Structure 1
C-alpha cells in the first residue's frame, strides 16, 4: 500500500533562496510534493547533509473530476525527481491514477478530495486506470517548468530510467540545449530501445540499438541516470554502465565495466539488485566519474575514480566503517557523492535495524542520520538527524536523494528549447514560471 497518504487541505511552505545564500549544491529529496497555490516549482533549500525538498504546482496534475455519486474511487497523484543535469536542471515526473478507495483505506473511503501519494515508488495494485505520467524539465531556482511531450502507446514509459543531459556554449555558463533520453531493454536483453528528445526539436524519436553486454547478461537500471562527459550514463551496479550521446546522429551504446573486484559474474535478480543498490553508487564529482561501494561486514568503504585517458578505475580511498562510526548496530547506506569535493561522501545511517546490508524496510527504523565523511582524512565531518520536513526515516534508504549542483547562473537563466511547440494540453500548464525569481 502506498504510504503515507496526505489529503491536500493546507498549502505547503515554500522557500526560494537568493544566489548569495544558496549553497553550491543540494541533496534533492526524490519525493516531491504539491502545493495548491504555487505558480511554478520551488526548492526548499537545506545545506548538505540535510535533504532539500521540491514542490510542484498542484495544477500540473490536471486531476479529472470524479462522478459525484461514485464514492468507490478516488484520484491519487504524486511526483518525484527523476534526474539532475550537470548544469543544475531537474527532470521531474508527475503521475496520476484512479484508485479503489475501499482497498486503499480499508473500507473507510475518504471524501472526494484527491490524495497525494508520498512515495518514490508508486504502488499500482489498487488502481483501476492505466498510469498517466508527465515529465517536466525544471529550473529549481526560478521555478520554471517546461513539459515534455508524452510518449504514444508505450507500456513501459513509466518504469524505464530517464536522464537529462545539458550542453553549454564552450562548456561554461547557462545550458543552451538539453536532451532527455530513456533506455529500456527489449528482445530479452539482446537490444535496447532508446527514446530521446532534444530541446531543438521538441519531439521524441526511437532507435533500436544492439546490446554491448556479454551474451545472456541483462541490464538492471535501478540507479539514477548520470550526466557526464557530454553523455548520459545508465548504471547497473552489478557490472558497470552504458553511456550514449543522445544528440548524435548515430548514437552508440558504449559499455564501461566496474572495477574488477566489484563485478559480479552472475546475473542478479531484481530483488538482489535493489539490495545491491543500498551499498553501491556511481556519481560525478569534480568533473570525474566516481564509484563507491560498502563491503559486507565488517563494513569497508572503497572509492574509485575512472581515468579519463586510460578508461580504467583507480582505487583512491578505502576506510573501515568502524573508524568513522562507533555504533556496531548502525547500518551504513550510501546516500550521495559530493559533486564538488571528490573526498566527501554522505551516508545514511539507520539505527534500530540489524547491522546488515540486506535492509528489510518493513522493520521499524528507530532513527535515521545523514553522516558526512572525509575519505582522505578518514573522519566524519558532520551528522544530521533525518525525519523532519516530510522526510520519513523509513524512506531514507539508498537513492532517496539526488546530488544537484546549483550554479549562480540558474537564478537568471531560462530553460532552452522550443517550448511553444509542445501542444499536448492534458496538463493545465505547458510552461509555468515562479512569481518570484531570485537575483543571480
Structure 2
C-alpha cells in the first residue's frame, strides 16, 4: 500500500481575537481552529480572556508551527506577554508561565518551539540578540517544564563572525535545530537543548539588483522568504531593477548541519515568463504587478506561493506555470498586506485525516490540559509563580509553592 499522505495547511499567523460573549466557546475553551484547503489560509480564533486585542503594532501572533502539529501562540494577556501551546490533535491548550519582568520579549520574532531528539519534551526558547552588534554574542532563555525559565548565558558564539544589529524575522524548527533568521542579514542556528549551545552563522545570498528591504517592522520583508521544503531550507528572493526585469530566485541550503551548510542549486525565473503563461492569465491575475513571496510548498520545493492584495497563488518555478489561485484578503491586523513573516506551512502528522466533503472547512476547539482548569485559573496561578521567583539577593523561590497544586495527571509534554 502507498504510504498515507501527509496533510498540511497554509496558516495565517495572526489569530482573530473575539470577545467571549461573541463566541460559541464552552467553558474553559479558549482557542478554535478553522482549516481550509491550500491555497486558502487556515486561521485560529482566540477568546479575549486568553489574549488581548492590543492593536496594530502589538497584535497576537503564532510564532511557530512545530513538526508535531503544535502551535506556539504569543500575545499580551492580563499577566503580560504570554505563550500558549495549542494542539488541535488532542484538542488541548497549555498556558506557559511567562518569564516575568519584561513587558515583551527583547525581539518580537525571536521565540521558537522545538522538541528534543526523543520527542518526549518540548522547549520554548527566546533569543536575546541585544549584544550581537557590539560583542558578537547572543544568549538564550529557555523553558522545558513550561513554568520556570533558564538563561543560557554561556552559549558558544565564536562562529558569529559578521556582527550587525539584529532585526529578526522569525525562527524555524528543522532537524533538531532552531534557525533564527533576519532576512536582511543572516541565519543563527543552534541546538537549544545543549548545555552550552553552539551558534552557527549562515549569511544569506546576495544579488546585485536586490530590491530594498521592506521598511515596515510589522509586516516584515515582502521580497524575501525562508521556509523548509522537502527536507531542506529554501531561500526565495524577488529582485530586479524594474517590473519588466523582475525575477524570482531560489537557493537551497546544502546541509541540515548548520556547521557545514552552503547555499546552492540556484533557480532563476523572470516574472515575464510567469505573467505571459496562459496558466497565469486564465486566473484573472494582473500582469506586471510584482507580488509578495510568502511560502514554499513544504513537500514540493519548486512550488512557491505569492500574495497580491486580493489573491494568493502558487507557481511551479520549473515549469513557469501558475498552479493554484484563490481570492484572499487579510481581515485581521496587520491587514492590507501579507508577508512570509505572517504565513506558516502547518504540517500535521500522518493519520490526522481530513473531514469528508470537498471544500469544507473544519472548526475545532481546544480546552486547557488538567494543569490549569481554565484561562482564569492559569492567569491566577501564573501570577503566584512569577511573584514567588527569586528576586536579587532573595533565597526563596519555587520551592515555597505547593507544586502539587499545579501538577496534573496529564501534561502537554507527556501527550506529544
Match of 1:147 among 87, 91, 95: 95
Residues 226 and 235, structure 2, Cα contact 8 Å, conserved in 1? yes
Q: Distance in 2 between matches of 1:239 and 1:388?
A: 28
Residues 346 and 371, structure 1, Cα contact 8 Å, conserved in 2? yes
Q: Distance in 1 between matches of 2:248 and 2:331?
A: 30
1:95 CA displacement = 1.4
1:164 CA displacement = 0.7
Match of 1:382 among 324, 341, 347: 324
Residue 405 to residue 393, structure 1, CA distance change in 2 (3 Å): same
1:409 CA displacement = 5.0
The equivalent of 1:339 in structure 2 is: 298
State the TM-score, normalizing by the size of structure 1.
0.66
- 1:399 aligned counterpart, secondary structure: helix
Residues 184 and 213, structure 2, Cα contact 8 Å, conserved in 1? no
Residues 220 and 270, structure 1, Cα contact 8 Å, conserved in 2? no
Residues 139 and 410, structure 1, Cα contact 8 Å, conserved in 2? no
Residue 328 to residue 270, structure 1, CA distance change in 2 (3 Å): closer
- 1:271 aligned counterpart, secondary structure: coil
Match of 2:224 among 271, 280, 290: 280
- 2:341 aligned counterpart, secondary structure: coil
Q: Distance in 2 between matches of 1:252 and 1:424?
A: 39
1:284 CA displacement = 0.6
The equivalent of 1:125 in structure 2 is: none
The equivalent of 1:356 in structure 2 is: none
1:134 CA displacement = 1.1
- 2:129 aligned counterpart, secondary structure: strand
The equivalent of 1:100 in structure 2 is: none
Residues 219 and 337, structure 2, Cα contact 8 Å, conserved in 1? no
More strand by share: 1
**Cα shift readout 1:208-245 (whole Å, capped 9, x = no counterpart):** 34474335422221x22100120101112123200111
The equivalent of 2:192 in structure 1 is: 246
Unaligned 5+ residue runs, structure 1?
A: 1-21, 64-73, 98-130, 170-174, 351-367, 433-440
1:293 CA displacement = 0.6
Q: Distance in 2 between matches of 1:389 and 1:47?
A: 18
Q: Distance in 2 between matches of 1:262 and 1:239?
A: 15
1:273 CA displacement = 7.6
Instruction: Report 1:173-192 matches (<5 A).
Output: 175-187=119-131, 189=133, 190=135, 191-192=137-138
Residues 237 and 281, structure 1, Cα contact 8 Å, conserved in 2? yes
The equivalent of 1:112 in structure 2 is: none
Match of 2:112 among 160, 163, 175: 163
Do residues 372 (structure 1) and 323 (structure 2) align?
no
- 1:176 aligned counterpart, secondary structure: coil
Residues 30 and 50, structure 2, Cα contact 8 Å, conserved in 1? no
Residues 111 and 124, structure 2, Cα contact 8 Å, conserved in 1? yes
Do residues 80 (structure 1) and 39 (structure 2) align?
no
1:260 CA displacement = 5.2
Stretch of structure 1 that moved more, 223-232 or 26-35? 26-35
State the TM-score, normalizing by the size of structure 2.
0.70
1:159 CA displacement = 3.9
Q: Distance in 1 between matches of 2:307 and 2:214?
A: 22
The equivalent of 1:322 in structure 2 is: 272
Residues 237 and 249, structure 2, Cα contact 8 Å, conserved in 1? yes
Residue 33 to residue 260, structure 1, CA distance change in 2 (3 Å): closer
